[in-house]
Structure formats: structure tokens, C-alpha cells
């Protein structure tokens, strides 16, 4: 008999915080900028928790290296930036359908655990990451994509509002976080820093302005 997953004692469901959407922080490393042509090479998803005081924190990260899909393009300039050798013999990478299936399975589990109706992608320049997620899902024929088809939460805009910064490194520093230049452009590292920035802004807002009382109600079934 499999164990029924539950939230840790210090956490409460996310359902009534973002109108029934579960924020999942995602970062991708790719072989270029075109989600339809360039390969998805690494994807990381960071799962958050919410405390009784409304504060968010980063709990765990799922990071997967991805094999370039058949016929994909690889821009040498992009590979130079992220430092990925897609065909390195020691690079343990999964086929795209397996990688996306694993990510989506965990996201769906978290959605259910938090009493939410679907996930919403949080990212730094979130439209870029969301585009690659949806393009990969379409290539793999995955119908149960848990992410909202077009909405996202972008930490570029949030950081500009909260800290007057748009670059992730500078936003992290403004939030009082450490930034490791050598670790940057790894999907896991960038996703974790993005998650910390997102939580910092959300918690700062909670402490200074709070959210309307109506947000304490469980969302209805509307989209």
C-alpha cells in the first residue's frame, strides 16, 4: 500500500494564496532561443511551501538533463553560455518524453497536495521557460500538461517593482541573497535563486501589505 503524500507539519495548502494556482519555479537551459527548433537540454522545477503566517519558502528541486530531440538545432553561442556539452559521455540525460513526464508527474502531485486546480510557472523571463515547456509537451504528445497555457509569474517584473532590478544576479543581491557567478546558467541553480527571489518578494508583500481577506477562501472552480 503506497503512502499518501501529505504536507509537512509547518506547511498549509497553497490553494487560497494564488487563486487556486500552484506556483512552480522553472528554469530551462537550451540550445537556442526558438522553442520549436532548438533543443531543451536541462529543466529544473523548484517546489515551494507556505507557512501559517503566509510566508513562502523553497523546499526541494527536481533537475533533469534532457537529450536533444531528433532534428533539433544547437546554437554554439547558447552552448557557450550554459556550458553544456549535449553529447558528453558522462552527461546522464533522459529522452525528452521521459524528462517531461517526470516533471509533470511531480507537478501534478504537488497541485493535488496543495488543493490547487493547476500549476502556474514562475520564472525569470517566464515566457521563455513556458514556451519551451509547452513546445516539449507538444512534441511528446503529452495531453495532461499541468501548467497554465499562457499565464505565468515573472520575477523580472516583480524584481523591478520590489528592488528596482531586472537582472537575476542583481535582484538576488538586492534581496540579500548570495550569487555564485560560476554556478549560474545551471537550470537548478538559476531556478533555486529565482525561487528565493520570488519568496522574498511575496513574503515582503505579505509583511507590509498582506492580501485581501477574500484570499483566505478556497477558490471556486472558475478558470
Catalytic residue positions?
Answer: 185
- Separation between Cα atoms, residue 66 and residue 102, nearest integer Å: 11
Residue 65, class by beta-carbon neighbours within 10 Å (0-12 exposed, 13-18 middle, 19+ buried)?
middle
Q: Is the dihedral of CA 157, 33, 43, 149 positive or negative?
A: positive
What number of helices (H) and strands (E) belong to the chain?
6, 6
CB 24 within 8 A of CB 62: no
Residue whose C-alpha cell reads 501529505 in the numeric block: 6
- In sequence order, the 6+-apart residues with CB closer than 8 A to the CB of 149 are 134
Under DSSP, the state recorded for 213 is G
| Site of grid cell 488543493 | 115
Q: What is the DSSP letter of 73?
A: B
Separation CA 60–CA 40 (nearest Å): 22
The DSSP call for residue 94 is B
Residues facing residue 141 across a β-bridge = none
Amino acid at each position: 500500500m503506497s503512502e499518501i503524500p501529505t504536507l509537512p507539519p509547518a506547511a498549509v495548502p497553497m490553494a487560497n494564496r494564488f487563486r487556486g494556482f500552484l506556483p512552480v519555479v522553472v528554469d530551462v537551459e537550451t540550445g537556442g532561443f526558438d522553442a520549436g527548433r532548438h533543443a531543451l537540454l536541462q529543466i529544473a522545477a523548484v517546489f515551494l511551501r507556505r507557512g501559517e503566517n503566509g510566508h513562502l519558502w523553497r523546499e526541494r528541486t527536481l533537475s533533469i538533463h534532457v537529450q536533444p530531440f531528433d532534428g533539433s538545432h544547437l546554437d554554439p553561442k547558447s552552448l557557450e553560455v550554459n556550458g553544456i556539452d549535449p553529447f558528453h559521455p558522462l552527461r546522464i540525460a533522459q529522452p525528452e518524453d521521459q524528462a517531461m513526464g517526470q516533471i509533470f508527474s511531480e507537478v501534478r502531485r504537488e497541485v493535488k497536495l496543495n488543493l490547487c486546480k493547476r500549476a502556474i510557472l514562475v520564472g525569470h523571463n517566464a515566457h521563455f521557460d513556458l514556451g519551451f515547456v509547452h513546445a516539449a509537451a507538444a512534441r511528446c504528445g503529452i495531453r495532461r500538461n499541468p501548467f497554465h497555457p499562457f499565464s505565468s509569474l515573472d520575477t523580472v517584473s516583480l524584481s523591478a517593482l520590489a528592488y528596482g532590478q531586472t537582472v537575476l544576479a542583481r535582484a538576488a543581491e538586492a534581496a540579500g541573497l548570495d550569487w555564485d557567478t560560476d554556478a549560474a546558467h545551471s537550470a537548478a541553480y538559476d531556478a533555486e535563486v529565482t525561487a528565493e527571489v520570488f519568496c522574498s518578494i511575496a513574503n515582503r508583500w505579505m509583511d507590509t501589505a498582506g492580501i485581501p481577506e477574500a484570499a483566505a477562501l478556497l477558490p471556486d472552480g472558475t478558470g
